[in-house]
Amino acid sequence: MDKPPIFHLAPLQGFTDFVYRKCYHQLFGNINAYYIPYISLGPGAKIRNSQLRDLLPENNQEVPVVPQVLCSNLSELRELAPIIRDFGYSKLNLNMGCPYPMATNRGRGSALLEKPDELQQMFDLLFSKFNFEVSVKFRAGITDEEPIFKLIPLLRAYPFSQHIFHPRTAKQLYKGQANRDLYARFVEAFGQPVVYNGDISTASDIAQLQQLVPTQHEWMIGRGILSDPFLIARINKQLPDPTTQTEMKRTFHELVFEEYQRHFSDNGQVLMKMKSFWSYFANSFSNPHKAFKIVKKASSLTKFKASYPETFRLY
């Protein structure tokens, strides 16, 4: 019998923050786990306030979250893992996929794919010193697709709860299409269940992947959900009628807006957050370009409040 699909929300720094996760979970609730965008050591070996706020247990109550760390070596992991443990989390995801030079130049994210010895030490620490349920999220390599195949024995040597694979190289950033054939080749070589991540935006993307990998049932989706909050309902064939969808979209927006205003006292910050939200949410309107344009040109929160109802009415 086919296993029912399991969906995870991908972490997108600046987009899938605690407000977004909470509001989505409250209204749609069809996601198994919400991966928190990474924490990492910033200037002065400190974690940025925005990253800490996203991780705080009081901001993640009743939402099934998985914290993530971005680090380059054992010593950075030794700093970060206890923070997650001390906040009371039992799960940890290791970022082995971040493609941006800001991270890779420091040996973080996808740079780890070329440092198997470093990785082994990090896995040893995670599995011997901590009681975490550990998962890994990775790409294929920095410039070519071979590193991930070379890492298979190492990945198989530890009891990871999930292996999440985004089939692109770091050089590709998020451009072009995720390489589905590469994904299928990896699953075949790996021989264990893998979570697919990359460019799922319709139910037919899922169906096409299942043609390539018939056993595939676990998915991590980011931009597809940000652009279409009904994507999972659509995939599950549980889409509400159009009137209910419009009402739910309005409610979702109100919830997000209220929560940002509750958590951020600075109007400029609230406006920035809402514009980030709309940069994807606008795609769920019949004319995404016009829908986003209206919101984008708001130069103050007062102007934003006056403008977004028009978007709901017209587009």
Using CB under 6 A, which residues numbered 165 to 184 contact ligand FMN? 166, 174
The residue among 33 and 301 lying less far from ligand FMN, judged by its C-beta, is: 33
Closest distance between ligand FMN and the C-beta of residue 313, in Å? 29
Number of residues that bind ligand FMN (CB under 6 A): 21
Exposed/middle/buried for residue 60 (C-beta within 10 Å: 0-12, 13-18, 19+): buried
**Residue 68 annotated as part of some ligand binding site:** yes
Q: 17, 19, 80, 97: which one contacts ligand FMN (CB under 6 A)?
A: 97
Q: 19, 221, 231, 256: which one contacts ligand FMN (CB under 6 A)?
A: 221
The residue among 68 and 216 lying less far from ligand FMN, judged by its C-beta, is: 68
Q: Which residues are CB-contacts of 140 (< 8 A; sequence separation ≥ 6)?
A: 113, 146, 147, 148, 165, 167, 168, 169, 179, 182, 186
269 binds ligand FMN, rule: CB under 6 A: no
**Residue 177 annotated as part of some ligand binding site:** no
**Residue 88 annotated as part of some ligand binding site:** no
Question: Tokens for 213?
Answer: 């990998």
**Residue 222 annotated as part of some ligand binding site:** yes
The residue among 68 and 104 lying less far from ligand FMN, judged by its C-beta, is: 68
**Residue 137 annotated as part of some ligand binding site:** yes
Using CB under 6 A, which residues numbered 122 to 141 contact ligand FMN? 137
Residue 274 CA to residue 295 CA, distance in Å, equals: 9
Using CB under 6 A, which residues numbered 24 to 43 contact ligand FMN? 37-38
198 binds ligand FMN, rule: CB under 6 A: yes
Residue 113 CA to residue 279 CA, distance in Å, equals: 31
Using CB under 6 A, which residues numbered 44 to 83 contact ligand FMN? 68
The residue among 103 and 256 lying less far from ligand FMN, judged by its C-beta, is: 103
Closest distance between ligand FMN and the C-beta of residue 227, in Å? 9
Q: What is the DSSP string of the chain?
A: -PPPPEEEEPP-TTTS-HHHHHHHHHHT---SEEEPPPB---GGG---HHHHHHH-GGGSTTS-EE-EE--SSHHHHHHHHHHHHHTT--EEEEEE----HHHHTTT-GGGGGG-HHHHHHHHHHHHHH---EEEEEE-SBSSSS-HHHHTHHHHHTS--SEEEE--SBGGGTT-S---HHHHHHHHHHH-S--EEES---SHHHHHHHHHH-TT--EEEESHHHHH-TTHHHHHTT-PPPHHHHHHHHHHHHHHHHHHHHHH---HHHHHHHHHHHHHHHGGGSSSHHHHHHHHHT--SHHHHHHHHHHHHHH-
Q: 13, 50, 121, 279: which one contacts ligand FMN (CB under 6 A)?
A: 13
- For residue 154, count other CB atoms closer than 10 A to its CB: 13
Residue 98 among the catalytic residues: yes
229 binds ligand FMN, rule: CB under 6 A: no
Closest distance between ligand FMN and the C-beta of residue 198, in Å? 5
Closest distance between ligand FMN and the C-beta of residue 303, in Å? 25
Closest distance between ligand FMN and the C-beta of residue 244, in Å? 25
Give the active site residue among 98, 195, 235, 294: 98
197 binds ligand FMN, rule: CB under 6 A: yes
Q: 140, 200, 209, 294: which one contacts ligand FMN (CB under 6 A)?
A: 200
| Site residues for ligand FMN per CB under 6 A | 10-14, 37-38, 68, 95, 97, 137, 166, 174, 197-200, 221-224
Q: Which residues are annotated as a binding site for FMN?
A: 68, 137, 166, 222-223
> Which residues are designated catalytic?
98
